[in-house]
Amino acid sequence: MEFLSEIEMFRDSFYNGDSKSEVSVAVEEAKKYEIFNLISRVSALNLFHQNQTKSVILDTYIEGLLHQKKDQFQSKYNISPGKFRRIITQISDTSLKYSVDPPENMFVQNIMFYGNYRVLNGIDQTPAYNLQNMISILFTNGIEYPKDFLNEAYILVNGMLTISEKIVSGISDINNDHNTDEEKGVIIPPAIDLNKYAELIVIEGTNFRKLFLEKSELLNLTTIEFGVEFEDDFDNKSFYTRPFLYNEEQDQYILLNAGLLPTAIVFWITCLAKKYGIFENVMENYNSYIFHECKKYLRYLGHKKVLESQMGIELFNCSGYKEYIASVQNNQLVIVQYLYDDGKNYDAYTLHSPVNKKEFNDMVPERLAYHYSKIVEYGVNKEDIFVIIIINSLGRGIAYGIKKYDYFYPPLRVNPFELMCISINEKTESIFIPRYLKAKNSLRTFETGILSELNQIEMYCNNNYSFYMNDDFAPSEITTYFAPGDSLDYIMRAIQKEDRRLVEDSQGIMFCEVILNDRKRKIYVDPNCIKRQEISYYIEFDTFNIWIVAKEISNAKKMDLCYSVLDLISYWLAECKTVLNKMNGGGRTYEIEIILSDEAEKYYYYKENPKPFIETLEICNSFSVMEICISPEAFQYLNYRDNSREKEFITIIIDYIYKLLGETGKINYDLNVLFANPMQKKLFSLDYQEYHYLEPVANRENHFVHGEDEDILLNEIGEELLKIGKWNVGIVDDGERTQIAHEVVGILYRKL
């Protein structure tokens, strides 16, 4: 905790005497101009992604203005573009610029709340993630809370997200392309662009109050006035908890920093929870939900909870701490510790106050020592034990120190959002976390624990899952320092890879959560459909959307069949977007439901069928739903040497979609170009009765060797070669390569 206070002192030093003097001069200069116009332009600079982390400079200036009395700003003259540029350049050229860090989160992120809303993340690490999970525990998890609390929370969240979406929709560059240079000052765009963005963060008073149903208590919770008396620090400004400034003369509200909204919404919810006496309940539900989500992320990575009682382990849980033991492989285990902010001593006036959790300093190493002793006693080697420490907070900083204990690998330290990103990006990588910790253990490095672990993980993943950069770099001999900046690329890749959002069902009565399944063709899947024994794919077209579903799947064999059919239909409909985009669907959502007419076994055995293909299908349209009943004969018909029969099937479906949309007449289209490659097809079949040689008679499977395993082996070989004393690190001369190859063979033989 002492180290954290030193960091805070270092950070506060950026706003020193020289910086304060320059800001004071700029504040005095502002008194010559219409103040609300000036502030709206300063705030609008936050809407340019190049300035995402430079809000520390802009916020400091706005804070200085808010400390003045309103009657000190009497001028009615709008500031000129040139003078505005000089003022911003003046304050951004102070030592405040050294406080600007690389972005650690996406510029824009989606929030699901009875629809999709976009928010700006600002400089905070996990604001959108925190807000999304707070919404989940309040509105989607079935937890009971006082009705008045939920009503006010709904009004607040809905109103703020509506404002945020309106602002983001007006930003022209929201592609999360972070080509920013944190060493540069604040980027000031042309006046015409700045004025346009300044209009986005000004909300007419009538519209603002209407969003909050004229509830004065909610309005007072979110708005601030001039003349504030607030002893702020570098992380907490007076307007961070009340980011709207009211202009009484124009009856307008100015949003002082749009990047504050997601964090502020969560803060306001906690204020309402305190008002209704349920603050501790909300915090415990939030942290328990996040713990459940973290278990899910680890399951995606192959780590499932084990029955720890079989090893004589008694788990310990208390306020602010949870733990469990998970599997890695048959002979390996991972200790998971979850440290969280339980909300005790929560400061009602700041967003970023630190959490005093000195008990973690003793608890964490004591529990690790306990688990190590029990697991080793059970018969697991120390080198087969890994540690993951998850730290969760709503925005407050948590600091703790681990006293030295007898571990084999240093622990992985992540917050839940980072763990979610790892689970998305590395889901297909076998036991990713243990492999990463093994590779990292070979590094000689220095860590403060302040920077995100994702910086190192991104470098590791980008280097073929290894820390060995080249033959001239020995990571175990050279101290490696990791700087911030790489974590953002890792986060962006995860969020864009999943693209999680809400979409309407075919009846238009409820929203469903979907994630991206095929990035190229924009095919989405319902991640929760398997729990309902269903498969659900979703595709968007220009004027309508389509669900492709199979429901009430009774067994695994039918599941495989349904997957094959849905995969075929979704793939080809997405490929045929040029045709389907010409249809007028009126913005509605439709459904194609696949039904198997017979038992699963009958679909796998071929028999002659004299009927035309169309007669082996039963297709009917009912309102917004198309039902396709597929017989065994139809399924077998699709198994063909080229894609001609898949084309025939998709042609039938497109014709029925045309009718489903309410269109009359005949649609003209040509699929020949889309099906030009005859081997571009989705269904393949093998006749094992005719081709017996395909039956496996020996294990000829190629075993995949991970790149990091190769690097570990190469490192060991290199150490053995250096011990011989004939060679040094570097390129081997041509004349000695045969000799060194013989030595390598000998080393490998001895290892065998």
Domain boundary among 495, 519, 539: 495
Question: What pLDDT sits at residue 404?
Answer: 65
Span 131-157, mean pLDDT? Answer: 95
Is the predicted pLDDT of residue 1 greater than 50, yes or no? no
Question: What pLDDT sits at residue 735?
Answer: 83
Same-domain status, 665 and 528: yes
Same-domain status, 590 and 720: no
Same-domain status, 341 and 457: yes
Q: Which two tokens stand for residue 223?
A: 């708005």
For 577-605, the pLDDT digits (tens) are 999 999 999 999 999 999 999 999 999 88
- Of these ranges, 237-246, 282-291, 438-447, the one predicted with the greatest mean pLDDT is 282-291
Domain count across the chain: 4
Q: Using a pLDDT cut of 90, give the percent of the chain over it.
A: 61
Same-domain status, 453 and 582: no
Same-domain status, 409 and 526: no
Nearest to 136 by CA among 114, 103, 121, 151: 114
- Is 4 among the domain residues? no
**Residue 238 — very low, low, confident or very high, per pLDDT cuts 50/70/90?**
confident
Same-domain status, 426 and 515: no
Same-domain status, 270 and 301: no
Which contacts of 207-212 are long-range, i.e. CB under 8 A and separated by 24 or more positions?
Answer: 208/163, 208/244, 208/253, 211/155, 211/158, 211/159, 211/162, 211/163, 212/155, 212/156, 212/159
Span 141-151, mean pLDDT? Answer: 93
- Is 37 among the domain residues? yes
What does 595-623 look like in DSSP terms, one character per residue?
A: EE-S-GGGGSS-----S-GGGGEEEEEET
- Name the residue with tokens 């009765």: 689
Same-domain status, 427 and 511: no
Within 13 Å, how many C-alpha atoms sit on residue 340's CB side? 27
Domain boundary among 440, 465, 495: 495
**What is the overall mean pLDDT for the chain?**
88
Question: What pLDDT sits at residue 176?
Answer: 60
pTM: 0.90
Is the predicted pLDDT of residue 179 greater than 60, yes or no? no
What does 271-337 look like in DSSP terms, one character per residue?
A: HHHHHTT-HHHHHHHHHHHHHHHHHHHHHHTT--B--GGGGT-----BTTEEEEEEESSTT-EEEEE
Task: Residue 745: give the domain boundaries.
Answer: 707-751
Q: Report the DSSP beta bridge partners of residue 544.
A: 588
Whole-number Cα distances in Å, 691 to 605, 682, 684, 688, 700: 15, 21, 15, 5, 18
Domain boundary among 225, 258, 276: 276
- Is 3 among the domain residues? no
Same-domain status, 131 and 241: yes
Q: Which two tokens stand for residue 549?
A: 């579903």
Same-domain status, 324 and 267: no
Same-domain status, 484 and 528: no
> Which amino acid does the sequence have at 60?
T
Whole-number Cα distances in Å, 142 to 139, 145, 663: 7, 9, 42
